[in-house]
Amino acid sequence: MTENVYITASCTIADNVVVKNGKQIFEQKGTKVQDFLVAVYQYLAVNYPRFYKMDGLAKLGWMASEVLLEGSFDKTKYKPEDMGLLLCNKNSSLDTDIRYYDTVKTMASPALFVYTLPNIVMGEICIRHQFKGENDFFIFEAFNAAFIQQYVHHLFETGAMEACICGWVELLDNDYNATLYLTEKKENERSILFTEENIYHIYQTTHG
Amino acid sequence: MMDLKRQIVEQLNLQHIKPEEIGDDQPLFVEGLGLDSIDALELIVLLQQQYNIKLNNAEDGPKVFQSVRTMADYIKSHQA
Amino acid sequence: MYTKSAAVYVAGVGVVSAIGNNAKSCLQSLENGEAGIGPITLLNTIHKNNLPVAEVKLGNDELAAQTGLSPNASRTALLSMLAANEAWQDAGISNAGHLRTGFISANSVGGMDKTENFFAAFLKDNKSGRLKDVVNHECGAVTELVADGLGIKNYVSTISTACSSSANSIFFGARMIKHGMLDVVVAGGADALTKFTLNGFNTLQILDKEWCMPFDENRRGLNLGEGAGYIVLVSEKVAAGISNKLYCKLSGYANANDAHHQTASSPEGAGSYAAMKGALALSGLQTKDISYINLHGTGTFNNDISEGTAIRRLFNPPYPKMSSTKAFTGHTLGASGGIEAVFSALAIKQGIIYPNLRLQTPMQALPFVPERIFQKNVAVDHVLSNSFGFGGNCSSLIFSKL
């Protein structure tokens, strides 16, 4: 029996614009991505100093999930082990790999080395929101709506998760895109069905 | 010690803290600045890169990095 | 259509590590108690004489000759190809052309060994360095190269979740089979030693300057290793046609996040506990059914107490036998889940238990002691294999006798 899964919130961060559920909430053209993300953090008056230590990819994914969940998610409805993540990108942690490798010339930086794995961004999100369920990171040539839809749907179907943050978090130098979906089995007044078209449509808005 | 505070802020990416806000004797770890184990490792890098001091025994870390003052004292007594 | 109860079988295994270039020679070393740890020979690094590592005893030219890939390919790809091909040949699936086959591979460094060499030249003079060498840097490219070599086209995917990567590849493959989307999956992972990882782990101060001692009270850290490990998973239908070649079933798996720190595990081992518990729940087994635990057991202070605590909390006496084979192979990072899955399947098929080498003083905080001698003719019915990665990513697999 295939139950329905819904997108109950979405967030995109691309081209220095932050959009939540289709509405723009912040923009700052002209700044480099890491400075832009700090500006978003300060604009939203988040109190999480650990943010400053994260690398670009983690800042991007963490910020997008922060915006995604704020006001849209009641985590008291779920057990920590039932909340999970499924993220993908193309360049893994290459941006930080390059920065870290530069430090090896003089003395390797532990703080940068820690981020030379793409799944650390999931670790940061889990630490922040206490998501203790399954989490996986896939590498693809390009955004793959079909995979995200099928696999996340499968995870719900098998009871592996009851709530899932899924999507695409990619960053290499100033080329970046975060497109995240909050998915649950319960509808709300603004939710839409978790279909390949709906997933792709939201991603497409970042290329408009 | 102000120079050292500036270096700490820069090395550890403490963008939310101004060097002058760090007390000379304020605990750096656990309470106080709330630094963690990775920050401790970065401070070891700082000692090496800025002062050419190698902290070979990581177990000495908690004593040396207790506060800015203990760090400054350690640097003074170990500089060539 | 998803069939929760659909069984998934292991039909072939392939492995290359510091203790052997194939399954047979690894088994020989495991039985003889011969670890593959020694001084660095393959990398030109300042740490050459300080840090023991577990290198695969084949140079890139030899790997290329054995795999048919170019000697200029990344070492990760070469290792991956060698082990994946062994697994594929071992499964001996004759009508593979008619079956939907997938290749799901994991690695943490991708083609980093080529990029390192490129960077050294590039940073000195940005007109030098062969850009062609870095074309296969990204993790996904290594997977594609090997998939092409094996002739697998239906489904190819790359997972990158640090040290739990290849365990995650394996159960992702199982899900694809249970979901009726694939019939056969070659799943596992590979990683080559690079200066990138050596310097990184060294700067995190979790490397042992001597040969590592997992689960010892006085352990000092881990030794980095390299290698590749793959298993061939097949559906019930395919298994029916090759029943005399099967090793075991993959009966359970789970993944959880520790949600504690980017690199350190929580003291109570929350993530490990949840992963082991979840795998047991899926398999329908009780803790008392587990014959052997292949520990993640890296030898770091943090992992071993965290993992040990999770086991103490989950299991009751009498505790299952357990050991960390990383005392033999070093910590092979993205390959570890795959390599240890191979060892787990072999343990069931051959009725053997591996020793936890160099264990002198058992950990005081734990009420159990890993096995210290190699054992044969043991009834090994169910094996639990743990793989825990940075970012709090914890996976456990359970393999069961047929």
Contact status, residue A199 vs residue A12, Cβ threshold 8 Å? no
The minimum CA-CA distance between B73 and chain A, rounded to whole Å, is 23
Identify the residue among C123, C159, C160, C314 best suited for mutation to test binding to A, counting A beta carbons within 10 A and taking the highest. Answer: C160
Q: CA Rg, chain B, in Å?
A: 11
Q: What does the pLDDT read at residue B33?
A: 78
Residue C179 CA to its chain's centroid (Å): 24
CB contact under 8 A, A111 and B38: yes
Do C8-245 and C251-400 show the same overall fold?
Answer: yes
pLDDT of residue A105: 86
What is the sign, positive or negative, of the torsion defined by CA atoms of B15, B50, B33, A56?
Answer: positive
Total domains present in chain B: 1
Per the CB < 8 A criterion, the answer to whether C249 and C399 are in contact is: yes
Instruction: Please compute the mean of the pLDDT values over residues B56-64 and round it to a whole number.
Output: 78
Q: Tell me whether strands C382-389 and C248-257 are parallel, antiparallel or unpaired.
A: unpaired
pLDDT higher at A6 or B32:
A6
B60 is a domain residue: yes
Topology adopted by domain C251-400: Peroxisomal Thiolase; Chain A, domain 1 (3.40.47)
Q: Categorize the per-residue pLDDT at A72 as very low, low, confident or very high, splitting at 50, 70 and 90.
A: very high
The whole domain housing B64 covers 2-13+28-78
Work out the average pLDDT over A113-135: 94
Residues of chain C with Cβ-Cβ distance to A124 below 8 Å are 262
- The structural domains of chain A, with segments of one domain joined by +, span 6-207
Q: Residue B61, Cα to own-chain centre: how many angstroms? A: 10
A52:B34 CB<8 A: no
pLDDT of residue C111: 58
| Burial call A26-52: b when 16+ CB within 10 Å, e when fewer | beeeeeebbebbbbbbeeeebeeeebe
Residue B19 maps to a domain: no
Which pLDDT band, with edges at 50, 70 and 90, does A34 fall under?
very high
Residue C145: per-residue pLDDT: 86
Q: Cβ contacts of residue A55 below 8 Å, gap of 6+?
A: A93, A95, A96, A99, A112, A115, A120
Residue B18, pLDDT > 70, answer yes
Beta bridge partners of C103: C156, C186
Which active-site residues of C does the annotation give?
A: 163, 296, 331
A99, A89, A23: which is closest to A60 by C-alpha?
A: A89
Give the residues of chain C that fall short of pLDDT 50: 132
- Going by C-beta distance under 8 Å and a sequence separation of 6 or more, which residues neighbour residue C151? none
Residue with tokens 């290359």: C16
Residues A133-155: b if buried by 16+ CB within 10 A, e if exposed: bbbbbbbbeebbbebbbebbbbb
Identity at B48, one-letter amino acid code? Q
DSSP string, C142-185: HHHHHHHHHT--SEEEEE--GGGHHHHHHHHHHHHHHTTS-SEE
Contact C192, C76 (CB under 8 A): yes
Question: Is C262 in CB contact (< 8 Å) with chain B?
Answer: yes
| pLDDT score of C116 | 67
**A129-141, pLDDT tens digit by residue?**
999 999 999 999 8
B16, A49: Cβ pair inside 8 Å?
A: yes
Amino acid at residue number C87: A
**Nearest CA of chain A to the CA of B27: how many Å?**
17
CATH number at residue B63: 1.10.1200
pLDDT at B19 > cutoff 60: yes
Predicted pLDDT of residue C126: 54
- As a whole number of angstroms, the distance between CA A177 and CA C105 comes to 25
Of C238 and B16, the structure prediction assigns the larger pLDDT to: C238
pLDDT at site C80: 96
Give me the residue spans of the domains in chain C.
8-245, 251-400
Q: d(Cα A28, Cα A33) in Å, to the nearest integer?
A: 10
Q: What is the pLDDT of residue C139?
A: 65
The fold for domain A6-207 equals: Peroxisomal Thiolase; Chain A, domain 1 (3.40.47)
Please tell me which of A164-178, B3-17, B37-51 the model is most confident about, judged by mean pLDDT: A164-178
Are the CB atoms for C262 and C390 separated by under 8 Å?
yes
Contact check, Cβ <8 Å, C259/A130: yes
How would residue A208 be classed by pLDDT, with cut points 50, 70 and 90? low
A52 contacts B16? CB cut-off 8 A? yes
Q: What is the ipTM of this complex?
A: 0.91
Query: Is B18 within a domain?
Result: no
pLDDT band at residue A207 using 50, 70 and 90 as cut-offs: confident
Superfamily assignment of C8-245 in CATH?
A: Thiolase/Chalcone synthase (3.40.47.10)
C314 — contact with chain B (CB < 8 Å)? no
Residue-level pLDDT at C154: 87
User: Which pLDDT does position B78 carry in this prediction?
Assistant: 86
How far out from the chain centre does Cα C189 lie?
6
Give the tens place of pLDDT for each residue, A35-66: 999 999 999 999 998 999 999 999 999 999 99
Here the tokens at position C258 are 């520790």
* pLDDT for position C247: 97
Contact between C264 and B37 using a beta-carbon 8 Å cutoff: yes
Other beta carbons within 10 Å of B58:
12
Please list every residue in chain B whose beta carbon sits closer than 8 Å to the beta carbon of residue A117: none
pLDDT of residue C115: 63
Beta strand A163-172 with A83-89 is parallel
Residues in chain B with CB shorter than 8 Å from the CB of C261 are: 36-37
From chain B, pick out residues whose CB is under 8 angstroms from the CB of C262.
38
**Is residue B9 assigned to a domain?**
yes
Q: Which residues of B touch A106 (CB under 8 A)?
A: 49
Determine contact: B37 vs chain C, CB below 8 A. Answer: yes
pLDDT, residue C67, reads 95
